[in-house]
Amino acid sequence: MGKKQGTSTSVRDALRVRPGGGIPHEPRDTPVGPKSKAQAAEGLAETGAELGRLQEALWVEGTFGGGDRSVLLVLQGMDTSGKGGTIEHVFGLLNPQGVRIASFKKPTPAEKRHDFLWRIRKQVPTAGLIGVFDRSHYEDVLVVRVDELVPPAQWEPRFDQINEFEAELAEAGTTVVKCFLNISADEQRERLLARLETPEKQWKHNPGDLDVRAKWTDYEQAYADVLDRCSTEDAPWYAIPADRKWYRNWSIARILLETLRDLDPQLPAPDYDVAAELKRLKENDPLLAGEAG
Amino acid sequence: MGKKQGTSTSVRDALRVRPGGGIPHEPRDTPVGPKSKAQAAEGLAETGAELGRLQEALWVEGTFGGGDRSVLLVLQGMDTSGKGGTIEHVFGLLNPQGVRIASFKKPTPAEKRHDFLWRIRKQVPTAGLIGVFDRSHYEDVLVVRVDELVPPAQWEPRFDQINEFEAELAEAGTTVVKCFLNISADEQRERLLARLETPEKQWKHNPGDLDVRAKWTDYEQAYADVLDRCSTEDAPWYAIPADRKWYRNWSIARILLETLRDLDPQLPAPDYDVAAELKRLKENDPLLAGEAG
């Protein structure tokens, strides 16, 4: 299960965060799978082909077959860790019809009047879809905690509330996969410099990003608690070594692939009489060949 | 403008429907551009690279730059004409973050209680996005007319209402591009047979599709009126020769490309002091290289 050529170990096993175990690798590591960009590109293309077939089956199952299953990929990570790049390169492999992307920015005043999960629930993928959260409900125990936007008594219970929410999703048919894009402070510095020094990337920079960077160790602590307290059986966290973009894309694509293989979505059997339909078209076609068009 | 290697004529000029002019080609024609599948694949890859850059600029302009522009591609055509395949192959070239796909099926009871444009308005792409309508408000002058779901006095005024609606969209910054996927009755027959004879395609078949096929000439008339009455300056119709899938994908991608070239979206200039930010990061980085991560 979840094993294929070039990958003798399940990527999910290798990258999964286990409570109490911390992050099982460094940001530049390549603990399983390709060791070079070229190998990763080849692996990604292969993965993409199989992913595409499985995605179609999931979509058909959920759209035409009465199935209730879906997949939700949660992406979290520091600025420049590659959430957008992952969406572009991994989800570019899939049929856009079956993908829903939700980006969670600073909540609006209307959103703030509700429970922190209110705006999240509205974006949970429906049957057949693969949803992606670009940031998520985890911001409510990350930036909210680091910047002290609410007191500890308010964010502290959220770990349990999140675990309950994700267990509900699992129960309702949504497989939740959470990826923490783990970059190093050095790599972030390089990427911030590259943004500032490349005119067509300057729009990506926001002076606030440097203020956030200054709180790096606070975020490390906040992420450590998130990974420790919310990597559950129902909704595990995977820590993705993200200093190398090719490894990040490859490993997230593989985690999705292993997830879909487990789901093993099935095309529904026809609910009509195939032979009768064929006969109708072959013998009683109201449009004789060549008559119209 | 809109011209590049391999295509000395604008694809929009070649495929545009002009009121009173009918459909300017046959479903198997290749009036401009590639003459083979291989040529089309090459052209599509080239087009994709440029489309990707322009799409990013449109998205940034609309998301970060305060722009209000967007693009809406409307896809219409008989069953099997390739609306889904177009979305998969053309929109697979784009960054999924900037794409919104809306499929319009038989209206729900709630939708029926409103004006026919009510559900449509909710799906108009917001600033920076490229929206795709898989079927659209045109169903309200197609299936609704052919199946006499409402009397002529009700659908007849809709041509003008649609033109007004689309002019409003144009006014508000949405460039509307409408593609009619023109397949022949013979080609539809082949595709229906292929669905029925290929187990992994059987889910696509619906016995109702053969009933619709039986009304081919009624639909031809209804489409002719749509193309004649609703191909406006603000929102032209393009008739896409769609018997050859490679030609369909190539020509729609090129029409999008020509559209985006005209829009010429611009990355916003930085609204911060680039030199100051660089200095901050280079001289005052709160995280000394190697300290964290």
Q: What is the pLDDT of residues B138-186, one digit of tens each?
A: 999 999 999 999 999 999 999 999 999 999 999 999 999 999 999 999 9
Residue A209 C-alpha from the chain's centroid: 23
The residue-averaged pLDDT of B187-206 equals 96
The residue-averaged pLDDT of B29-48 equals 96
> What DSSP letter does each residue of B171-228 carry, written as one string?
HTTEEEEEEEEE--HHHHHHHHHHHHHSGGGGGG--HHHHHHHHTHHHHHHHHHHHHH
Q: How far apart are CA B171 and CA B183, in angstroms?
A: 32
Q: How far apart are CA B196 and CA A151, in angstroms?
A: 61
Q: Where does residue A16 fall: left (phi above 0), alpha (psi -120 to 50 degrees), or beta otherwise?
A: beta
Six token digits for residue A116:
């922190």
Among A56, A91, A97, the residue to mutate for chain B (most B Cβ within 10 A): A97
Record: contact A205-B287, CB cut-off 8 A: no
Nearest chain A Cα distance for residue B226, angstroms: 17
Q: How far apart are the first and last CA of chain A?
A: 49
Q: Which residues of A touch B81 (CB under 8 A)?
A: none
pLDDT at B8 over 90: no
Q: What is the pLDDT of residue A8?
A: 54
Among B190, B256, B277, B279, the residue to mutate for chain A (most A Cβ within 10 A): B277
Q: How far apart are CA A77 and CA B73, in angstroms?
A: 34
**Of B255, B257, B263, whose CA–CA distance to B58 is shortest?**
B263
Q: Do A12 and A240 form a contact (C-beta atoms < 8 A)?
A: no
3-state secondary structure of B170: helix
CB-nearest to B281 from A88, A193, A200 is A193
Average pLDDT across chain A, whole number: 94
Q: What is the pLDDT of residues A45-79, one digit of tens each?
A: 999 999 999 999 999 999 888 899 999 999 999 99
Q: How far apart are CA B7 and CA A269, in angstroms?
A: 45
Q: Which residues of B touch A190 (CB under 8 A)?
A: none
Name residue A228's amino acid. Answer: D
pLDDT band at B4 (very low <50, low <70, confident <90, very high): very low
pLDDT > 90 fraction of chain A, expressed in percent and rounded: 91
> What DSSP letter does each residue of chain A carry, written as one string?
---BTTBSS-HHHHHB--TTS--SS-TT---SS-SSHHHHHHHHHHHHHHHHHHHHHHHHHHHTS----EEEEEEEESTTSSHHHHHHHHHTTS-GGGEEEEE--SPPHHHHTS-TTHHHHTTS--TT-EEEEES-GGGGGTHHHHTTSS-HHHHTTHHHHHHHHHHHHHHTTEEEEEEEEE--HHHHHHHHHHHHHSGGGGGG--HHHHHHHTTHHHHHHHHHHHHHHH--SSS-EEEEE-SSHHHHHHHHHHHHHHHHHHH---PPPPSS-HHHHHHHHHH--SS-TTT--
Q: What is the pLDDT of residues B199-254, one digit of tens each?
A: 999 999 999 999 999 999 999 999 999 999 999 999 999 999 999 999 999 999 99
The residue-averaged pLDDT of A175-196 equals 97
ipTM, interface predicted TM-score of the complex: 0.89
Q: Which residues of A touch B134 (CB under 8 A)?
A: 97
pLDDT band at A284 (very low <50, low <70, confident <90, very high): confident
Record: contact B185-A291, CB cut-off 8 A: yes
Record: contact B274-A216, CB cut-off 8 A: no
- The set of residues, in sequence order, having a beta carbon less than 8 Å from that of B126 and lying 6+ positions away, is B62, B70
Among A81, A281, A291, the residue to mutate for chain B (most B Cβ within 10 A): A281
The residue-averaged pLDDT of B103-125 equals 96
Task: Report all structural domains of chain B as residue ranges with CATH numbers, in order of start.
Answer: 11-283 (3.40.50.300)
Q: What is the pLDDT of residue A240?
A: 98
